[in-house]
Amino acid sequence: MRILPVNLSTLLVELDDLSQALGLFDQLQREPISGVTNVIPAARTLLVSFIPSRISAEQLTHTLMARPVSSGGSHQHGELIEIPVFYNGEDLDDVARLLGMSTDEVIRRHGEHEYQVAFCGFAPGFAYLAGGAGFDVPRRDTPRTRIPAGSVALAGTFSGIYPTDSPGGWQLIGTTPLEMWDLHREPAALLQPGMRVRFGATEDAPERVSVSVPREVTQTAESATTPWLEVLQPGLQSLFQDLGRKGQTGQGVSSAGAMDKSALRAANRIVGNPSDATALEVAQGGLSLVCHQPAIVAITGAETAVSITAADGARHEARPWQPIELAEGDTLTLGATTAGVRSYLALRGGFDVTPVLGSCATDTLARLGPAPLKRGDLLHSANGPVTALSLGESPEFDLPRAGECITLDIVMGPRSDWFTDEALALLCEQHWQVTPHSDRVGIRLEGEHSLSRQHHGELPSEGTVTGALQVPASGQPVLFLADHPLTGGYPVIACVADHHLDLAGQIPPGTTVRFHPLTRFAPLAGDDSLHEVTP
């Protein structure tokens, strides 16, 4: 066992193989460690998140090292799911050549061996299927920009089925009519960790079907007296957000949630809502709403001008970070942002939004949660519990502006040792330009010099965190934000410290970023200790 630092509240446990990883995962499920909040299994690692105030990284490391390493676990005895496959994949002939056998032999062996659902990641409902025929094929040199839902594919030693249309680099060997991901079903993911899978050849490709128990969907009745708002202009991107979707990693679903959680909490406190209530996240301003019933709202986050135009045409400015009272007929408008990126609008009583998998957060990568606002949408109050208004809220940090250089604290690891000494120095010495190709999934950074690796092998998929600095083949890092994938296959050189994640979510294009390391890289166990750096 080797334990690597990820950030200030997460460790990566590296084992010899998938069987050991699943064995330890089963142990941690049966005998959880106090203070551990989440464990994400992957090809040969576990991503372990914890609460530092309840257990330190050192204590957790010692506890994990004391656990015996075993293989297999309950993953060998789960429910058997049979998957019909029409073997018409575009890469079937190439796979046969790579494996040195005929296509008929590939089909026969793929269908006659049983697979196990090892873990889920990449996308909601995407299951990594281990064992089976024992094939080992590389990913495609150039990923496809779109792979249809239901595509059966191979990569490395895994088989998998794409649950939705998405980009991907796996080798396609066939299609299945079964729906791998269906939000109207309970559970939404057809394949769950621990299940067994057997593929069977079919001669045709019937229409797509969903199996398992339908999910009951309840709608909240809307009262005629409920305060509500109508969207006149949605702006560039206006989304419902809360603090994120918890407890769904087994289905390959990450937490998502507000990019600046401190601003969302503050907006809710100002109007007297619970701090985790659903609010609107507005990117770069431009939102305009008309009020049809009296309401109290608050706006926090990015710096933006807020104006109210009354029904008689009178116009006045409103103050962010304060309660804003709206009368019937008032139009509330957010101007373009001048610092930061995302504003948060809370409505007293909360928004009446139907949760998806236990949360009202919109995940733009996984395409989960409420749809982005559009012109004409009607926003109703949930009439939730409220307390007194808060008048003492203020930003927790100075908002970044275009042209400025923002310093972010980072923790080195977990894959710093995949990079050259020169790359490790460059990461923290040079300034990184924030490109316009940035969104809720991540910030794409460009530097004068790219980061070079000393290990050029393919990294098996492993869990990722918000704030991870993943480095693809280009050597230009991507800073993962709230809607990042649950697992990734490029090495993570470092991770932004937890206390700077909200700041990272407010960095606009046109700024530069410099990274300040809080630690030097070293394994916490299995090698040297993690060393603190004097700031």
Q: What is the pLDDT of residues 287-317, one digit of tens each?
A: 999 999 999 999 999 999 999 999 999 999 9
Predicted confidence (pLDDT) at residue 207 exceeds the cutoff of 70: no
Instruction: Quote the pLDDT of residue 401.
Output: 97
Structure confidence by residue, pLDDT tens digits, 432-486: 999 998 999 999 999 999 999 999 888 888 999 999 999 998 999 999 999 999 9
Predicted confidence (pLDDT) at residue 342 exceeds the cutoff of 60: yes
Instruction: Quote the pLDDT of residue 488.
Output: 87
Predicted confidence (pLDDT) at residue 218 exceeds the cutoff of 90: no
- Fill in the DSSP letter of residue 432: E
- Fill in the DSSP letter of residue 184: T
Structure confidence by residue, pLDDT tens digits, 367-394: 999 999 999 999 999 999 999 999 999 9
Cis peptide before 385 (omega within 30 of 0): no
Average pLDDT along the chain: 92
In a domain, 394, yes or no: no
Q: In this structure, are residues 519 and 5 in contact, taking their beta carbons and an 8 Å threshold?
A: yes
At residue 250 the predicted structure's pLDDT band, cuts being 50, 70 and 90, is confident
3-state secondary structure (DSSP) of residue 102: coil
At residue 12 the predicted structure's pLDDT band, cuts being 50, 70 and 90, is very high
List the beta bridge partners of residue 189: 181
Instruction: Quote the pLDDT of residue 77.
Output: 64
Q: In this structure, are residues 181 and 190 in contact, taking their beta carbons and an 8 Å threshold?
A: yes
Rounded to 10 deg, the angle between the 103-112 and 92-99 helix axes is 90
CA distance 56 to 79: 37
In a domain, 220, yes or no: no
Q: In this structure, are residues 124 and 252 in contact, taking their beta carbons and an 8 Å threshold?
A: yes
Are residue 196 and residue 241 in the same domain, yes or no?
no
Q: pTM for the whole thing?
A: 0.90
Those residues whose C-beta lies under 8 Å from the C-beta of residue 62, and which sit 6 or more positions away, are none
Q: In this structure, are residues 150 and 160 in contact, taking their beta carbons and an 8 Å threshold?
A: no
Q: Which amino acid is at 88?
A: N
In a domain, 137, yes or no: yes
Q: In this structure, are residues 94 and 209 in contact, taking their beta carbons and an 8 Å threshold?
A: no
In a domain, 221, yes or no: no
In a domain, 217, yes or no: no
Are residue 332 and residue 405 in the same domain, yes or no?
no
Are residue 57 and residue 106 in the same domain, yes or no?
no
Q: In this structure, are residues 36 and 28 in contact, taking their beta carbons and an 8 Å threshold?
A: yes
Spell out the SS3 assignment of 285-354: CCEEEEECCCEEEEEEEEEEEEEEECCCCCEEEECCCCCEEECCCCEEEEEEEEEEEEEEEEECCCECCC
The larger pLDDT score, comparing residue 47 to residue 144, is at 47
- Fill in the DSSP letter of residue 53: T
Q: What is the DSSP string of 441-492?
A: SEEEEE-SSPPPBS--SPPPPEE--TTEEE--TTS--EEE-TT--SEESS-E
Give the pair of three-digit tokens for residue 524: 């916490």
Tell me how far apart the terminal alpha carbons of the chain are, to the nearest angstrom. Answer: 31
DSSP H or E run through 23: helix 18-30
Structure confidence by residue, pLDDT tens digits, 60-74: 999 999 998 877 655
Are residue 124 and residue 199 in the same domain, yes or no?
yes
Are residue 253 and residue 272 in the same domain, yes or no?
yes
CA distance 73 to 138: 28
Predicted confidence (pLDDT) at residue 212 exceeds the cutoff of 90: no
CB-side neighbour CA atoms (13 Å) of 458: 13
3-state secondary structure (DSSP) of residue 73: helix
In a domain, 222, yes or no: no
Predicted confidence (pLDDT) at residue 216 exceeds the cutoff of 60: no
* Residues counted in the chain: 535
Task: Kindly list the distances between the CA atom of residue 369 and the CA atoms of 101, 104, 188, 259, 364, in Å, as whole numbers in the listed order.
Answer: 44, 42, 13, 15, 9
Are residue 408 and residue 507 in the same domain, yes or no?
yes
CA distance 27 to 281: 39
Are residue 66 and residue 94 in the same domain, yes or no?
no
Give the pair of three-digit tokens for residue 214: 């339908």
CA distance 445 to 426: 13
Are residue 104 and residue 167 in the same domain, yes or no?
yes
Predicted confidence (pLDDT) at residue 35 exceeds the cutoff of 90: yes
At residue 142 the predicted structure's pLDDT band, cuts being 50, 70 and 90, is confident
Those residues whose C-beta lies under 8 Å from the C-beta of residue 173, and which sit 6 or more positions away, are 85, 87, 89, 91, 92, 95, 106, 107, 110, 152, 153, 154
Q: Which of 348, 380, 412 is the last residue of a domain?
A: 380
CA distance 117 to 368: 23
CA distance 271 to 76: 51
Residue of 64, 20, 60, 27 lying closest to 42 (CA atoms): 20
Predicted confidence (pLDDT) at residue 226 exceeds the cutoff of 70: no
In a domain, 102, yes or no: yes
Predicted confidence (pLDDT) at residue 76 exceeds the cutoff of 60: no
Are residue 532 and residue 463 in the same domain, yes or no?
yes
Q: Which of 380, 415, 442 is the last residue of a domain?
A: 380
At residue 532 the predicted structure's pLDDT band, cuts being 50, 70 and 90, is very low
CA distance 486 to 453: 23
CATH number of the domain to which 530 belongs: 2.40.100.10
Are residue 168 and residue 262 in the same domain, yes or no?
no
Predicted confidence (pLDDT) at residue 535 exceeds the cutoff of 50: no
In a domain, 386, yes or no: no
Q: In this structure, are residues 81 and 48 in contact, taking their beta carbons and an 8 Å threshold?
A: no
Using a 10 angstrom Cβ sphere, with 0-12 exposed, 13-18 middle and 19 or more buried, the burial of residue 316 is exposed
Structure confidence by residue, pLDDT tens digits, 159-202: 999 999 988 889 999 999 999 999 989 899 999 888 999 999 99
Q: In this structure, are residues 57 and 530 in contact, taking their beta carbons and an 8 Å threshold?
A: yes
DSSP H or E run through 134: none
The number of domains in the chain is 3
CA distance 340 to 13: 36
Q: Which amino acid is at 494?
A: A
Radius of gyration, CA atoms only, the chain: 25
Are residue 239 and residue 291 in the same domain, yes or no?
yes
Are residue 142 and residue 100 in the same domain, yes or no?
yes
Instruction: Quote the pLDDT of residue 225.
Output: 54
Range(s) of the domain holding residue 199: 80-212
Instruction: Quote the pLDDT of residue 74.
Output: 53
At residue 414 the predicted structure's pLDDT band, cuts being 50, 70 and 90, is very high
Instruction: Quote the pLDDT of residue 72.
Output: 60
Those residues whose C-beta lies under 8 Å from the C-beta of residue 266, and which sit 6 or more positions away, are 298, 300, 321, 344, 393, 394, 395
Structure confidence by residue, pLDDT tens digits, 92-120: 999 999 999 999 999 999 999 999 999 99
